[in-house]
Chains A and B, each alone.
Chain A
Amino acid sequence: MRPLAVVVFAETLPIVLLGSVWLGGSPATAESAPLVQAALATDDSPPVAAALALPPVREPVFERQQVGSPMAAVAAGDPIGILVGGTVRSVDGWPIPSAGVTFRRGDEYHIGSTEPNGAYAALGLDPGEWSLTCNAEDFAQVEQRVTLDRRPYQQFDFELHPAYIVKVKIQNAAGQFVPSLIATQSGVELGAVASEAPLSGDLPITGEPTYRRFGAGEWHTSTNSGRGGALDAQMRAQGCAGELRLDHDPPVHVALVFRHYVLQSQPVAPGQHEVVFTVEADDVLGRLATATLRLVDGATLQPLPRARIELRAGAGAPSIGMTGDDGRAVLEHVAPGPMQLLVWTVANGFLRRHVRVPPGGTLDFGEVRMAVPRWIQVAALDAEGRPVTDAEVDLDEFDEAAVPTVPSARGWVPVDGSGQARLPFGDHRYVVFARSRRKGCGHALVDASGVAPAAVSVTLVEGTRIVLRCDFDQTVGYLVTVFDGQRTPVRSVWLGGERRPDGTMLPPGNYTVEIHDGNDRLVRSFALTVGREPLTLDVP
């Protein structure tokens, strides 16, 4: 009798444990819900379990749907590929609308945006490893690597935590708002980054005016955040240059940065929601450089007057100059770091060149020659020689370009219905790139320094995926440059700071790879044979 009562009591415990596991995971699992909450949920996920696991919602307007059961492998050749869906909610259960869910692999990405009920979907994915990011306004970003298998539908749910806000004040010793004092110089912008440990030096160089996402959070400036004038004005009135939205609660270290230069740093303790940096405007303005050049016609060497010159970092405001009658231009107050030199002329067309501006002092680009552009027809062809009508083409001049070059955004030009586009060539050698979602990628070397070819064709082939495995700290940057057999730079991938692509695509062939650090020092060089199978490169 007494033993029977003990048996009944003893049976109760496993029932509770087994029942809770069956109904949706152990209480411990639920409490320590990972950020990507159900990465393994599949067509077999139990509706009941899902329903029980759901947090409360505001109102019962969203009907819960059952997930079907029979699973199949994704059909080869079906453009639908793998369908991915799920729900994005806050930790207290509210659905988050307009959240972005991005699957990224090298240059390829697939984006889903959440509906008002928090549901999202994306399709066209292939099996393999992907970088998965979920972000939403005012919530901490979630990013991790996931592996998709061959099932046609796979589910990823997210529970987002509110971002931890740290307001950043930047003032001088007299208490003045420093961003206003330096705002007279266009393109000069201060920012802040958060990191787990104190930064030991400057950040990796960046092509953008300032870092937006780095380490443990995201910087939102009050000067041009785009959130709306009233909110920004309110922040500025409080003396705040912006706010850091941390992915987790402090302790963290916050650094004041000007492009990739770290000006100051200080720790942020748990519970702390404001930091104040004291810096003099001259400490920032003293790092600005002056750039000069003389612009001449490539054929006659005569000066090119009234040309507009810009030095621009990413989407930031440029430093602008105009050439005089002698073709000379002086651009003052140029922010240091990687820049694009852009030149517009009336008769000699347009020039884009990647340059590196050192802090302080004067940088002389010397004589810049611009030939009257020759518009050359570029044809994108597939392996059978047929036109590829969904291709885009672009070109890089590489005679005068600094190699290694930190790449910036391209100006892809779509081809027309005959698979062709006209591109302007100067008196140089160029690499012409072409890409197509359906036909792959390709490049061709064009020597326009002598007699320019009448037409150029680029053959697109299915690229082979090159995975770049980066096992180095976020405070370090490396540039991977791939040269073909004629030492033409056919691919440049900058891996540093917030920009760290996980791979690239290359047509099969023999290449040489060079890896430089952020100071342009060659770290490693090796031969690479690309076949049909994906390759993994360790960087550095």
Chain B
Amino acid sequence: MRAGNRRTMPWLEALAVVQGAVIATLVVLLLRGEDVAPAPVAAVPPPPATSLPAAASDQGAADEPSTPPGEATPAPRALTPEGTILFGLLVDEAGDPVGDGHVSLTREGAARPIETRSSEPRGEFVVAGLLPGSLAVRVRAVGYHEGIDTIDIPAGTARLRHDIVLQQAWNLRVKIQTPEGQPLHEVLQELNKTRHALFWLEVTAVATPYPPDGDLPPTDQRNSPHGIGRWRGASGPFAVRDGPKVGSEYAGTLEFTERRPVWVSAVLRHRVLATAAVAPGQHEVALTVALGRVLQQLGTIRLRVVDGMTGVPAAGARVGFSDGQTLSGGEDRTDVEGRIEVHDLRPGLLHMTIAGRERSGLRAEVLLAPGQTLDLGDVVVMPFTTVEGRYEHRGESSKPPAVFAWLRTASSPALRPEPIRAQVAMDGTFQLHLPVGSYFLRATGGGGATATIDTRALGSAPLVLQLAEEAAIRIDARTGGEMLQVSIFGPEGTKVSGRWLQQDAKYPILVLPGDYRVELEDRRGNVTRRTLHVGPEGVDLRVP
């Protein structure tokens, strides 16, 4: 017992001393922590802004050394926010805030942004919860060059401030006015109060590096996508809230990345109405267009809608024509003879929709020339049917393909049927909802296949598409700034790809091996054709 006591005595004493020291340390820590809690010490100026493009981020300005655990306030129990808070200001070169800018962050090697944020009116932006690593940052704001940069987020950084300086683009203010000096958009706005079809009518501006020698290529978009620079409409039905801040006398601005001589044209879709030469850095250009000249470009389409099953004219069918960006079910209805005439149509490529009682017309594209009255003749509407199908892979791809169907023959030669996309499921099945008729089918993207079907001849068994490996046509277009349309047609004469290019571009088109036709069309409408054999390894196609 005594011996035992003698043995344990030093151990107990040592423990008592250590515990005492621990208590004292904890008391000191707690007391020191209380002193630290109420805060502000000194003002720290904001970090220097980083110009874009810039090589490095300004992480050092906001990175603060961490506090040793024992020196901090333990009282309030806080969760450490996950990841890094990235924040900063968008400013211009004069230091003024840039509001409504869009900041997108993309992880290195990823295709899609992980975050997209808008800056507040005072230019501030913030993104929370970012993991360490390198982020590509892309900043877009009206009136400024697009900024592209990389931000490195070091591990262990709670907050990182990164201010971004945007460089002002060359912003050319464009007036489009009548000979009387009135802004054309105001005149059109007044006119559409009585001619409601003119609501979508808009005259915009396009810049080209050469004087246009005629109209631009027709487009199915609302306004011509051709030319250089970016059009920012400030008036008309599509002026957006975050558009350029210019006076109401301006139609909009053209935003350029480089200062060079350009020709600016007032256009109604692809129709060129007026052109003026503009010197590099010029601030403003005025184009004169008479209202009458605009109205002359409007066209008319007439047609008779016929029930394809009975041959009887379809009375009361709704017919609409719209561009590819404007949803319009059609306000006009056919008369008792199934006839209709639609006026005040803008020239260019238009999508036609017809909806009748239990019958619908296929969506088709029609090209309306400026000022044209186009008679489509009889346009057939058919009942809809559903085609069930499945696809089977012969190759290694496990990705479901996209399946499209084209009507083989349109009822009017002026109509170009638009593809109908099937609903494709991961279980290998697909469904096509389309009007009764004869179709060409094409599957692509997860293996390729083509087929020709007539919905009236299909039995109850599902349609089977045997997918084969596709090969790539690797297009390398060197346009030299000239407009060029690159179209590729399949062995069946179906267009598998068609794209207008302004800048150099490289892109692949997936097709089944075989012989194809390549068509190149320049801005003057000159077309050159060539054949192209696509083997299993694909083929490189350099154009022009």
Contacts and interface: CB of A to CB of B under 8 A. Distances in A.
Given A68-B66, A86-B81, A80 B30 contact: no
A419 to B, nearest CB: 9
Interface in A114-157: 114-124, 149-153, 155, 157
Nearest to B23: A14
B39 A121 contact: no
Interface string B69-97: 11111111111111111011100000001
Interface stretch (B242-250, B263-271, B532-540): B242-250
Nearest to B127: A121
B159 A83 contact: yes
A123 B126 contact: yes
A416 B248 contact: yes
Nearest to A42: B39
B279 interface: no
Interface stretch (A43-51, A243-251, A267-275): A43-51
Contact of A417 (B40, B126, B241, B245): B245
Contact size class for B? 35 or more
Interface string B459-493: 00000000000000000000000000000000000
Contacts of A79: 89, 97, 120, 122-124
A386 interface: no
Contacts of A87: 79-82
B234 interface: yes
Contacts of A41: 76, 78-79
B128 A121 contact: yes
B45 interface: yes
A537 interface: no
B358 interface: no
Contact of A115 (B124, B128, B156): B128
A40 B27 CA distance: 21
B124 A85 contact: no
Given A79-B124, A123-B126, A149 B40 contact: yes
Contact size class for A? 35 or more
Q: Most chain-B CB neighbours within 10 Å: which of A37, A81, A124?
A: A124
A4 interface: yes
A537 B432 CA distance: 66
Contacts, number: 273
A67 B124 contact: no
B29 interface: yes
Q: Most chain-A CB neighbours within 10 Å: which of B23, B81, B84?
A: B81
Interface in A44-85: 44-51, 53-54, 62-73, 75, 78-81, 83, 85
Contact of B30 (A21, A24, A44, A390): A21
Nearest to B27: A18
B74 A49 contact: yes
Contacts of A66: 66-67, 80, 156, 158
B124 A80 contact: yes
Given A78-B46, A416-B247, A85 B85 contact: yes
A46 B73 contact: yes
B43 interface: yes
Contacts of B77: 24-25, 29-30, 33, 37-38, 49-50, 53
A176 to B, nearest CB: 34
Contact of A51 (B80, B124, B159): B80
9 smallest CB-CB distances across A and B, nearest first, come from A68-B64, A41-B78, A119-B129, A115-B129, A417-B245, A38-B78, A46-B72, A79-B122, A48-B69
Interface of B: 5, 9, 12-13, 15-16, 19-20, 22-23, 26-27, 29-30, 33, 36-37, 39-46, 63-67, 69-85, 87-89, 97, 99, 120-124, 126-129, 131-132, 155-159, 161, 193, 234, 241, 244-248, 250
Interface of A: 1, 4-5, 7-8, 11-12, 14-15, 18-19, 21-25, 29-30, 33, 37-51, 53-54, 62-73, 75, 78-81, 83, 85-87, 89, 95, 112, 114-124, 149-153, 155, 157, 346, 389-390, 414, 416-418, 420, 422, 437-438
Given A53-B79, A122-B126, 11 more contacts: A45-B80, A46-B73, A47-B66, A47-B69, A67-B78, A68-B65, A73-B40, A80-B88, A115-B129, A123-B87, A437-B121
